[in-house]
Chain A
């Protein structure tokens, strides 16, 4: 962990530390049991289209209920063993699906039948959950006009080496993926964002005309999408909008490579590359099927965990802690980090002392000292209107330097979540036709759940 230097006048500086040479990923064997997560809540009253005992094939499109457009792609072949509800971040009800993996793998032919037609529709229908979570669903919206595609060759969080490794080792696949994406979205420009250190090995990415390599700084958080927008494209995303609204779509190097693989082979890639950050901060790269429980990965990597340790999905600055080793690898899991109980940093309920360290380190120039006061007091609207809540790019630096150890980052995320929830509650009531009062409330409630989930999903994509 980076500690405050003795001479604290200089701001702490975080560097991404790109790899000198590519690492060879360790292959994790096929798990015995795979777990998959639906964003949809489990409602026992619905007729489920998936029930224990159902056989699924690798690459098969799975929907929870007939009328749902939320789907996942089965990464394994086997039989459904259970469908259960679980609670995700911010208390979101989601559904977990367990599959007992069969010995013989069978590939589903659903996608190969349509893979000859390279279109956004097909991508949104089948490839939304490719490793690296490409934003196809947002792009398939006819209101979105994409002008620029940005492929990031540097992982947005510190210590994570997944995409920088792929950008070095899969130059050709990424180039082909870029051509497919360009054709699909009719984008005019394609930009590959790389740190200077990776230029030598990955400089050949693109090949196709119209692909530009742009160098980004190695200082955190220059690889976060809002920062690439600002530094590379010279565009500032207005608070409350997404980069897609501005005509820019972000793909990770891994997603671009997987798009090429999917359309070329007709099979949907189901293997996720991820960085394992061990307790001593040494890094390992592994390849695992989506749905593999982390327990399997820890066993292969020689990681033993004890009580009061911490497991983090993602990197040290923006990841999320989870409570069990049985949590599965998802399509968006770029890294898993473990921390020894001795290294676990804790937050406190101490008040802000107004030292201003957060204000000076904030890359988005937000008055964090004021923002956090309003967030703590649940004055979310004032926080948004007067203290730039929506300008936050969620890098976590303020919380890193806070001497009061306030969980500022979490307060900001909670504020954004509460604001989204409040907005979702207002709109349906206005639009709903005037019927019996009970009907209106029931409808309103349902729509609220759906909308807040969509917004959470969009945030994860961005």
Chain B
């Protein structure tokens, strides 16, 4: 018995397709990079500062929580870095350092870790952090306020804000091409619509996010915007501005699709996305806030467990 070879004994199946969480995180990171880099080019060093601080603080918060709770260190899975990047992308370039510090704390610790870490969070950490910041320090994440010292050489009002405050006439000259190519004011990583769409399509093709959610979210935005416009064109903006400005695209492709807080069955995914899109426009048009994406995502996160009960009957299920 002493010279017996020692074999690995484990459970079936004995094959695996090689997918992993680290891979998912870093590919999502990669998909978000074009929009983030565009933001850096557009807003310069302040954007670099916000993004770097956000990514490193998100990782440090998670590491600190790992140490305090005496769990194995999980920063290697890339999820904390991804939260940091996405959180940095939804902040304006002029965000003060302490806002990033508090925001990443909310996102990583309150948004994710206290629920048991990755996979346990019922709400999207970034949406949760932004919602709390909006309520507490709305002034500092107001795009127009924080970008006041910039001169872009193009129409520099935050389109969604202008629409809210001055009506559709204020954004008449804004075209879809402008918005897609980033000729608009906005948060660091949200102005380059085309980059976000390309990143999203990449993630869909690689099956890292679920196309049903993004598509139905966007459809929900378009449909609701059309309805409002048909009802009172003088008060409400059209679908183009709702689709390509503000946080819509990053919300549809990177936030609403977050695994843990979104449904997995087909019908629930469609409802989840549609409701998210509709709520976004509802809050923008008749709500108190300029942009409703984060609040809409938090609401659909809340109904997700209930929605996911709508599912096909398993084979052999009697009742």
Contacts and interface: CB of A to CB of B under 8 A. Distances in A.
Interface of A: 1-4, 6-9, 12, 226, 230, 236-239, 241, 305-312, 314, 316-325, 337, 339, 341, 344-347, 350-357, 359-360, 363-367, 369-370, 388, 390-391, 393, 396-397, 399-405, 407, 409-410, 413
B2 interface: no
B11 A236 contact: no
5 contacts: A2-B15, A3-B18, A8-B207, A352-B119, A403-B20
Contacts of B14: 310, 312, 316-317, 319, 321, 337, 339, 344-345
B204 A405 contact: no
Nearest to B264: A356
B5 A353 contact: no
Interface string B25-62: 00000000000000000000000000000000000000
B208 A8 contact: yes
Interface string B202-227: 00111110110000000000000000
10 residue pairs, one from A and one from B, having the closest CB atoms: A356-B264, A8-B207, A396-B13, A410-B11, A391-B314, A388-B314, A345-B16, A353-B119, A351-B119, A4-B17
Centre residue among A305, A337, A365 by max chain B CB count within 10 A: A365
Given A238-B318, A321-B10, A359-B264, A345 B118 contact: no
B98 interface: no
Given A309-B8, A353-B118, 13 more contacts: A4-B19, A8-B19, A226-B315, A230-B315, A306-B5, A316-B15, A317-B15, A353-B21, A353-B119, A356-B263, A365-B314, A407-B10, A410-B11
A364 B315 contact: yes
A355 B79 CA distance: 14
B240 to A, nearest CB: 28
Interface of A is mostly: loop
Nearest to B269: A356
Contacts of A311: 7
A263 to B, nearest CB: 35
Interface in B103-146: 116-120
A9 B259 contact: no
Centre residue among B6, B15, B23 by max chain A CB count within 10 A: B15
Contacts of A370: 308
B12 A410 contact: yes
Nearest to B266: A360
B116 A351 contact: yes
Interface of B is mostly: loop
A365 B24 contact: no
Contacts, number: 190
A402 B13 CA distance: 11
A226 B12 contact: no
Contacts of A226: 315-316
A226 B77 CA distance: 38
Contacts of A388: 314, 317
* Size class of the contact patch on chain B: 35 or more
Contacts of B67: none
A372 B263 CA distance: 16
B311 interface: yes
Contacts of B316: 226, 236-239, 241, 364, 390-391
B10 A346 contact: yes
Given A347-B10, A353-B119, A325 B5 contact: yes
Contacts of B120: 351
A355 B24 contact: yes
A351 B13 contact: no
A405 B20 contact: yes
Contacts of B66: none
Contacts of A1: 15-16, 18
A353 B259 contact: yes
Contact of B204 (A9, A347, A351): A9
A351 B208 contact: no
Contacts of B208: 8
Interface string B289-306: 000000000000000000
Interface in B184-242: 204-208, 210-211
B260 A354 contact: yes
B154 interface: no
B210 to A, nearest CB: 7
A403 B119 contact: no
B5 A305 contact: yes
A126 B119 CA distance: 53
Given A7-B205, A238-B316, A321 B210 contact: no
A375 to B, nearest CB: 13
A397 B15 CA distance: 10
Contacts of A12: 17
B6 A308 contact: yes
B69 interface: no
B312 interface: yes
Contacts of A230: 315
Contacts of A409: 11-13
A318 B11 CA distance: 9
A316 B13 contact: yes
B175 interface: no
A357 B208 CA distance: 10
Contacts of B165: none
Interface in B73-109: 77
B5 A365 contact: no
Contacts of B20: 403, 405
